Amino acid sequence: MALDTPKRTFKVVGTRPARPDGMDKVTGRAMYGADITAPGMLIGRILRSPHAHARIKSIDTSAAEALAGVRAVLTSADLSVPEDEFIRDVQDNCMARGKVLYDGHAVAAVAATDAATAKAALKLIKVTYEALPHVTDVDAAMKPGAPIVQDGRTLENVPAGMSANVTSHSEFGHGDLASGFAKADKIIERSFKTAATHQGYIEPHACLASVAGDGKADLWCCTQGQFFVRTLCAEIMGMEASQLRVTASEIGGGFGGKTTVFIEPVALALSRKSGRPVKIVMTRDEVFKATGPTVSSSMDIKIGMTKDGRITAGEAHLRYSGGAFPCGTVDMGGQAAFAAYDLDAVRTFGWNIMTNRPKEAAYRAPGAPQAIYAVESVVDELCQELGLDPLKVRLKNAAKKGTKSSYGPTFDDIGLVATLEAATSHPHYTAPLGPNQGRGLSCGFWFNFGGNTCVSLNINTDGTVGVTEGNPDIGGSRASISQMAAEELGVPYEKVRTIVADTSSLGYNDVTDGSRVTFSVGLATIKAARAAIQNMCARAAKIWGIDEDAVEWKDGAACPAGPNAGKFPPMTLAEIAAVSAETGGPIAGHHEVNADGAGVSFGVHLVDVEVDPETGATKVLRYTVFQDAGKAVHPDYVEGQMQGGAVQGIGWALNEEYIYGEDGRLQNAGFLDYRVPVASDLPPIETVILEIPNPGHPYGVRGVGETPIVPPLAAIANAVSRAVGVRMTELPMSPPRLLKALMSKG
């Protein structure tokens, strides 16, 4: 669906109305996953592996089953083995089958009348393990002779002779690397590592499952995609989709981590076995140990540059580990690594390697932050070595309309140059720096996509409007959808209420991911509103006794289209709605689409830091985010996405990491030891929204949710490296790591 007009004037879109979920969230009225209850509800608890890697020799549940108050005990023996490999991996991650693959892997579950009984029952389950050698480091896992996490998972694209932990290989790019590097005046090669980090959502996973005796089931859960939850759970449970209704609760953060299931099939299976509703709420320890962090990575980068700052060639070797199961995230990293640059010679090589860590789940722009961190670090170092302005170098090499991207397609209208120019002219870029301070910047990129989307829009007889969509609101989508409906219908924002439907009330909607919702649900809402408008124009035509084509919709009312249509006063939406029963029945608009044309997104981050030379602690002094939003529907929310991405990136760059002991067990499964940034760690995050309309959306909207987490890793690493005079090549740049670098400098 193409852009309506490049210079449209909006009345509602672009304003900042009060968020519809605000009151509920600040008063405690909002219903999160753990708030759902049902009569006769049991409490479910999960027993988890204390080993990083072990064969399950036997599980004796008899004592637990005999405990008073226990109504069901579950192991993988209670579940069938799905034929589909993807579903089988999801199920095996929810409940280990044969082997435990990481510390915290689920091995059994109980449902009991109360939490204390459930906890006591877990202690009565006797699991006999045969401990196996483990590997948690991505480079170690790739070596011949490394402990094998799973055998037989290697795809056809992996060359023979590699470790069985290597599951896939990908290569992207174009041009002649050797010739490109030969043109360079300076070539830098560096190796980088990044730690696995968790999405860190405040709300732990929670669900309530209720399976009736006739096989019909209901599931309430906090998720980014109730329809996908239904697909996964129905497959695992052997149910028809129509028999399982999934309702998404209010969600306390997801960031990609709630795009799959961890406890939902377990709760359903316990409910089916016990005949009672079963509720499971994860502890924070479980969230860290058994839900997906992002990949850990190890990367080698080589970039050549001329004296005047033209990049002549770029090469990246990316080794990602998505934990104990095959994972395709490295493909996204390989495509994103050099996307900001217009290059004649570029190549990325990606490898996924299994390790004894939890199964990776998506985390905003999965795979891109790591690769772009490494590439942007080397670009920055080349600028330092050649005495060049890092923003001017990026402008000189920036991808633009007509650039053949590093991953293949030719770019259409994109906003990278505009964001770089905005950064260049911003006072932040030229502000003075003090001792031990450094300034860094980085470009960021994400693909964005659309996907399967259904919207139903109902005109109520009192002139208000109800919009039903199928994606949980993780970033303000109910407000932005209402705004787009109001804009199109010509009614005030306050007249529209958008709700999120359960899986039995609307057609299939893809997961809330890929920064797709404001783009694709917005697009479907506009189309649904236009269908309703057509209906309302037809009703007015009937009332006036004129042809439907002689009626047009202007400023929220049907009007005669020109002098030949006759003289009738405009009929407002409310007036048409009030007589809808008399003119043909309820008025609604629907739209179903597999949306395309999402349009890629670019951003630039600029950051100042100060490093304490005595402690190695880094303080972020100033941070500015520049991003192309296409059209910011609700600028508050767009700024919130930009600020949130920056903050998560600050944590990733400076402190957050999964730390494993020699025994392969996670050492810091809690917010005391896994340190996310808090308000007192942060300066105000300044935002500059640019609006280069997306030609694939009627209002020009682009997704904005993922791009902001891409640049911070490199921007902060570049700032820290300049502050301390040592190129930092491993994340997080925690105080001990920085202190070591400072001491090695002498």
Partner 1 sequence: MVKVLLWGTLRHATDGQAEVEVEARNFKELLDQLVAKYPGLEPQIKRGVSMALDGRVYREAWFTEIRPDSEVVLMPYMVGG
Residues near partner 1, by CB under 8 A: 155-157, 169-174, 199, 255-257, 259, 328-329, 331-332, 335, 347, 349, 362-366, 407-412, 446-451, 513-516, 594, 596-598, 696, 706
How many residues appear in the chain? 746
Closer CB to partner 1, 130 or 412, in the complex: 412
Output the smallest distance, CB 646 to partner 1, in A.
Answer: 16
CB atoms within 10 A of CB 517: 31
Output the smallest distance, CB 31 to partner 1, in A.
Answer: 24
Give the C-alpha separation, 633 to 11, whole Å.
11
Closer CB to partner 1, 408 or 585, in the complex: 408
Output the smallest distance, CB 603 to partner 1, in A.
Answer: 16
For residue 732, cis peptide bond before it (omega within 30 degrees of 0) = yes
Output the smallest distance, CB 259 to partner 1, in A.
Answer: 7
Closer CB to partner 1, 62 or 410, in the complex: 410
- β-pairing verdict for 311-321 and 126-131: unpaired
Closer CB to partner 1, 20 or 649, in the complex: 649
Give the C-alpha separation, 723 to 650, whole Å.
16
Give the C-alpha separation, 736 to 746, whole Å.
15
Output the smallest distance, CB 596 to partner 1, in A.
Answer: 5
Give the C-alpha separation, 390 to 378, whole Å.
11
Output the smallest distance, CB 527 to partner 1, in A.
Answer: 16
Closer CB to partner 1, 199 or 271, in the complex: 199
Give the C-alpha separation, 130 to 127, whole Å.
10
Closer CB to partner 1, 299 or 529, in the complex: 299
* Host H or E run for residue 205: none
Q: In DSSP terms, which residues pair with 560 in a beta bridge?
A: 551
* Host H or E run for residue 438: strand 437-446
Output the smallest distance, CB 63 to partner 1, in A.
Answer: 42
User: Is the CB of residue 357 less than 8 Å from the CB of residue 698?
Assistant: no
Dihedral angle of Cα 400, 406, 409, 411, to the nearest 10 degrees:
-10
Output the smallest distance, CB 326 to partner 1, in A.
Answer: 10
Closer CB to partner 1, 155 or 499, in the complex: 155
Closer CB to partner 1, 296 or 721, in the complex: 296
Output the smallest distance, CB 743 to partner 1, in A.
Answer: 37
Output the smallest distance, CB 231 to partner 1, in A.
Answer: 15
Closer CB to partner 1, 220 or 363, in the complex: 363
What residue spans of 243-354 are helical by DSSP H? 264-274, 284-290, 329-336
Closer CB to partner 1, 82 or 328, in the complex: 328
Closer CB to partner 1, 8 or 174, in the complex: 174
Give the C-alpha separation, 541 to 370, whole Å.
58
Q: Taking the chain, what is the end-to-end CA distance rounded to the nearest angstrom?
A: 60
Choose among 687, 651, 722: nearest CA to 439.
Answer: 722
With H, G, I as helix, E, B as strand and everything else as coil, classify residue 745: helix
Choose among 58, 65, 220: nearest CA to 130.
Answer: 58
User: Is the CB of residue 491 less than 8 Å from the CB of residue 553?
Assistant: no
Closer CB to partner 1, 349 or 568, in the complex: 349
Output the smallest distance, CB 68 to partner 1, in A.
Answer: 44
Output the smallest distance, CB 444 to partner 1, in A.
Answer: 14
Placement of tokens 């058994």 in the chain: 290
- β-pairing verdict for 437-446 and 451-459: unpaired
Collect all residues with Cβ–Cβ distance below 8 Å to 320 and sequence separation of at least 6: 138, 295, 296, 297, 327, 329, 330, 333, 350, 351, 352, 353, 367, 370
Closer CB to partner 1, 76 or 335, in the complex: 335
Give the C-alpha separation, 500 to 496, whole Å.
14
Closer CB to partner 1, 192 or 411, in the complex: 411
Closer CB to partner 1, 385 or 412, in the complex: 412
Output the smallest distance, CB 363 to partner 1, in A.
Answer: 5
Output the smallest distance, CB 442 to partner 1, in A.
Answer: 19
Output the smallest distance, CB 513 to partner 1, in A.
Answer: 4
Collect all residues with Cβ–Cβ distance below 8 Å to 205 and sequence separation of at least 6: 33, 221, 222, 258, 262, 263, 280, 281, 282, 287, 291
User: Is the CB of residue 618 less than 8 Å from the CB of residue 680?
Assistant: no
Give the C-alpha separation, 693 to 682, whole Å.
32
Beta strand extents in 501-577 (DSSP E only): 551-554, 557-560, 571-572
Output the smallest distance, CB 295 to partner 1, in A.
Answer: 12
Closer CB to partner 1, 402 or 670, in the complex: 402
Burial 129-140 (b: 16+ CB within 10 A, else e): beebebbbbbbb
To 10 degrees, what angle do helices 390-397 and 368-386 make?
120
Collect all residues with Cβ–Cβ distance below 8 Å to 107 and sequence separation of at least 6: 47, 48, 49, 56, 59, 75, 95, 96, 100, 127
User: Is the CB of residue 38 less than 8 Å from the CB of residue 271?
Assistant: no
Closer CB to partner 1, 17 or 328, in the complex: 328
User: Is the CB of residue 476 less than 8 Å from the CB of residue 490?
Assistant: no
Could you give phi then psi for residue 591, rounded to 5 degrees? -150, 135
Output the smallest distance, CB 342 to partner 1, in A.
Answer: 14
Closer CB to partner 1, 104 or 367, in the complex: 367
Q: Which amino acid is at 497?
A: R
Output the smallest distance, CB 364 to partner 1, in A.
Answer: 5
Give the C-alpha separation, 244 to 237, whole Å.
10
User: Is the CB of residue 446 less than 8 Å from the CB of residue 629?
Assistant: no
Collect all residues with Cβ–Cβ distance below 8 Å to 131 and sequence separation of at least 6: 51, 53, 54
User: Is the CB of residue 649 less than 8 Å from the CB of residue 442?
Assistant: no
